[in-house]
Structure 1
């Protein structure tokens, strides 16, 4: 806090805490603990110790009380007159407020610290308090900052000709990714709770799809030790049938879902997005290809790789060779989507390569044959020669047939991303040209929408001008396409577009408002940051490939990290 006035000032800061412990607002106790000069909130085996310190000492005042019950708004109202009641204890639906006071001379500054220590018992949070007391919060902040400064700089990357804002966004993205990763391997989609107001649920789950994309980005940047825990996590949660459900809690239990177990005729159907199972295999091969840690993936071979790959082989239509219906990656429509089929191809190719690593020739050939059958089926059934592009999906017509859904959808980038066709194939080129033409938001903000007439968080009904809100991942997919095509200037322009539209803190939301760049939906979205990291590495790989020294014949910028296929 800086005092810019010409006289000494006394500053009082108020901190309010309304904790819903174990996801409920009842049965909670809050009390003042005199020995630690702190407020304790607890329920069952969840404890939170809240304290603070200024140059004037510890807590100035405090209060605990009832909130959101019996017509009471909360103890924070007690702070409006600048004086707290110092009520000592409350239970039920409770909150707390504490104040810290400091005097600052004119032209001087002061630092005030507040902290929350979380644990499973009063003893655990008390030990954390003693650590803070002994070391001092300023030292802990300094050491933590230095630790993660070195963590973010782990890989020695020559950023070539990338502008400073892109490099800064890359490093910030790495740090934000780490905040969304549980030490037991779960990678949550977002820790933002604002989304609760829409349907009383959050993004704080582990989607195997999001996790697989995060692993792709982190492995590309050299953070193999972090992604290993995610793959271990997947090995523990995979079903006995070999598929992964929509989402999970970080402890491995299944998360809430809107995917039903039957169709409208009460016939059984798996409540899955098959791409999630396939993407984990695709990402795991990428991990091994770069890390070469066979001792790590050895225990996962039978438990995860074979189970998942066998499921992908069997979960197909005997007549067409296409995967059977499941929900698309947007989790909205059930059918056979181009993205899911491409991911299944990539997953089966990955499983075949991993099987060869272990000398399992029979399985390797089985997965290879299935992958090629899926590829042939994609080109036969999901490419529309009349429109000159790939379809979004085939939807069941209720009569054992399918209806073509030709909606322009950005996710068709999966055709080149997962190796079905190269980026310079004319069918891919026409498809991606259609994506850019139909889905680029025609406002000053720009960016790529998910698909035509995207209703989620819809801002404008003028779908010709605003087909949907700009999504960071979709815009970066277009950048990946241009990079794969050796069109680095176009790819770099889109990387800069993303970096320029991050929040002031460097956070990337899921999507932005098409007219004012305000973040929409959750922020941060882990997937947005991982895709930025991956796209930067792909740009540098391509830069390394194309920019060769005339004299020595070596790359000008950096060591090549390799491509998947």
Structure 2
């Protein structure tokens, strides 16, 4: 059975920074990554069902909504462990499932508890169907039952997963026909097949009314058969209650090591802690890279993918981690950036966990600039001279690249893709990021006794500030232009000429023409970035004040509130985003407009998911989650907002 469609929106993530799994509110595991959190993904479909003896209905799959199954789901408090309860009026059994990955280990625990809610004993079979298509391919898989380990092994190349329980199974099947047989409740004992799927079952006899039975299922991983079997043996070496308590204690310690949530409000504390927990899962344990979100559109049907490391996102995320004292995660990320930098000093748009280039729309000059800025923010937090020395060669190469990427005509960074990866131009936000990166590089140079470099980079940053002030202000709208030299199709160029707008063209060495509009007047939330966080202009600069007010006027979603990215945004319907709303919140805090800032913060809290995660977007009509769960940048912006309010003594 091959599932060709998985949901875009998921309800929970669990993991241990080497495993990452995404789950629905019914307890279904839709995706599983290992040994890195971005690639490869292995699960095709995993289902849990009950075949209740004495009925003729076949197997009922309790991790779905068929047969009247209703579900309640939530995180175990202060952990990355997700609990689902399934109940159906048609059946006497209820099912509790707790999913978690054990810290530091190569196995996931799926802890099932079956409770007889009826008035008579119940005999049943727990059916566990699993289909692994490692590396997202249908080819070259083997599924095998290993009697010596009482396990179902899924194998492809260097990815081997052993599925078993502490309870000895009573039935198994590998390969052809397994889904149909699992539905009928009768597995045929086939031991091996070059197919990706198999099933196990456990027969429970006469469970008494009010009684419960536990069947923990382990998914153990290894890059060889022996390693997978060793991981499974480790899982079975302790009672599942041991792993539960071990994992729960780990997450409690993780939170206790961070700066406590400020203020007294329980909703802020819960969202603060959930943000820290989510950001930890988005940080790869082995490489240190930080991904934007768990992948959910592996077919690239509606977007270009999210399970990559963007330097810009990560700079905001690590700044948030540093603010709450989780500096080791930030340090590991910046160690990773040294592996991802190109020889010319640039950092490209996005990368895989190992620093290799990911699919791209082209250079975003703000990415590398943000990394250098983030490095300095980290140094300010930790004051670690060894860190300073370690990153300095990358900072120097990066700053030289940035100073060499200036358009002599405008004094701004030359054309690149904008932060939303949609337009090619000289973007005001990107110029602000380069200002921030060069200012940070100058600070590094000053600290390391390189005054000439420090002076040169400071001068380059000041020239960018002057160019933004002189060329990028749009008095007509009362906001900065989004960009200069905006590349457009020829038809748009011709239309602009007819309207008397300023235009230009460039012809490359091969004779191809690019058409430009002189100004992009669209109001965009990213214009806040030239003040917060990059400091080109202070928050109380009259132009920034007007820009922020114009943003709020133009971009507030009329029905549900929240701030859109920009005028006439069409991506996924043009919805308000969590991070954009919190970006304006940051600015309002810097302006001392605390009531307005708190209102924006509350909007983000009010639009978290049922499990307490922050999405990317909120539907502009319904207010429901619209896209990407969770978005790591959203959680980082929440942490930064709360920290800023606390610094100003403005949290209740």
Q: TM-score range by the shorter chain?
A: 0.7 to 0.9
TM-score scaled by structure 1?
A: 0.86
2:374 alignment partner in structure 1: 283
> Which structure features the higher share of helix residues?
1
- Paired residues for 1:404-419 under 5 Å: 404-417=519-532, 418-419=534-535
Q: Contact 1:194/1:522 (CA < 8 Å) preserved in 2?
A: no
Q: Distance in 2 between matches of 1:118 and 1:48?
A: 5
Q: Contact 2:154/2:162 (CA < 8 Å) preserved in 1?
A: yes
- Paired residues for 1:146-157 under 5 Å: 146-157=249-260
Match of 2:214 among 91, 111, 132: 111
Report the CA distance shift for 1:379/1:111 in structure 2 as closer, same or farther (over 3 A): farther
- Paired residues for 1:97-496 under 5 Å: 97-102=199-204, 104-157=207-260, 159-161=262-264, 163-183=265-285, 184-194=287-297, 196=299, 198=301, 202-257=305-360, 259=361, 271-302=362-393, 304-394=394-484, 395-396=486-487, 397-400=503-506, 402-417=517-532, 418-443=534-559, 445-458=560-573, 468-496=574-602
Q: Contact 1:352/1:368 (CA < 8 Å) preserved in 2?
A: yes
Whether 1:506 and 2:609 are equivalent positions in the alignment is no
Q: Contact 1:338/1:414 (CA < 8 Å) preserved in 2?
A: no
Q: Contact 2:261/2:272 (CA < 8 Å) preserved in 1?
A: no
1:471, distance to aligned residue in structure 2 (A): 0.8
Q: Contact 2:261/2:273 (CA < 8 Å) preserved in 1?
A: no
2:172 alignment partner in structure 1: 62
Give CA-to-partner distance per residue, 1:41-77, whole Å, 9 cap, x none.
1112111111234xxx2334333225xxxxxxx7434
Give CA-to-partner distance per residue, 1:112-146, whole Å, 9 cap, x none.
32221122111111111111111222211211111
Q: Contact 1:192/1:523 (CA < 8 Å) preserved in 2?
A: no
Q: Distance in 2 between matches of 1:14 and 1:439?
A: 51
- Unpaired runs of at least 5, structure 2: 1-94, 96-114, 488-502, 507-515
Report the CA distance shift for 1:338/1:111 in structure 2 as closer, same or farther (over 3 A): farther
Report the CA distance shift for 1:201/1:333 in structure 2 as closer, same or farther (over 3 A): closer
Give CA-to-partner distance per residue, 1:263-299, whole Å, 9 cap, x none.
xxxxxxxx30000001001111000001111112312
1:455, distance to aligned residue in structure 2 (A): 1.3
Deviates more, 1:171-180 or 1:21-30: 21-30
Q: Contact 1:479/1:491 (CA < 8 Å) preserved in 2?
A: yes
Q: Distance in 1 between matches of 2:124 and 2:612?
A: 29
> Which structure features the higher share of strand residues?
2
Poorly superposed stretches of 4+, deviation over 6 Å: none
**Aligned pairs, number:** 511
Q: Distance in 2 between matches of 1:104 and 1:538?
A: 55
Whether 1:43 and 2:156 are equivalent positions in the alignment is yes
Q: Contact 1:315/1:323 (CA < 8 Å) preserved in 2?
A: yes
1:381, distance to aligned residue in structure 2 (A): 1.5
Give CA-to-partner distance per residue, 1:19-39, whole Å, 9 cap, x none.
221332211111111111111
TM-score scaled by structure 2?
A: 0.75
Deviates more, 1:77-86 or 1:415-424: 77-86
Give CA-to-partner distance per residue, 1:166-219, whole Å, 9 cap, x none.
110111111111111112111111113245361696321111122222111111
Q: Contact 1:165/1:496 (CA < 8 Å) preserved in 2?
A: no
1:330, distance to aligned residue in structure 2 (A): 0.2
Give CA-to-partner distance per residue, 1:305-353, whole Å, 9 cap, x none.
1011111111001122100000000001000112111111111111111
Task: Please give the root-mean-square deviation of Cα atoms over the aligned residues, in Å.
Answer: 2.1
Q: Contact 1:279/1:344 (CA < 8 Å) preserved in 2?
A: yes
Give CA-to-partner distance per residue, 1:417-452, whole Å, 9 cap, x none.
110111122211111111111111111x32111111
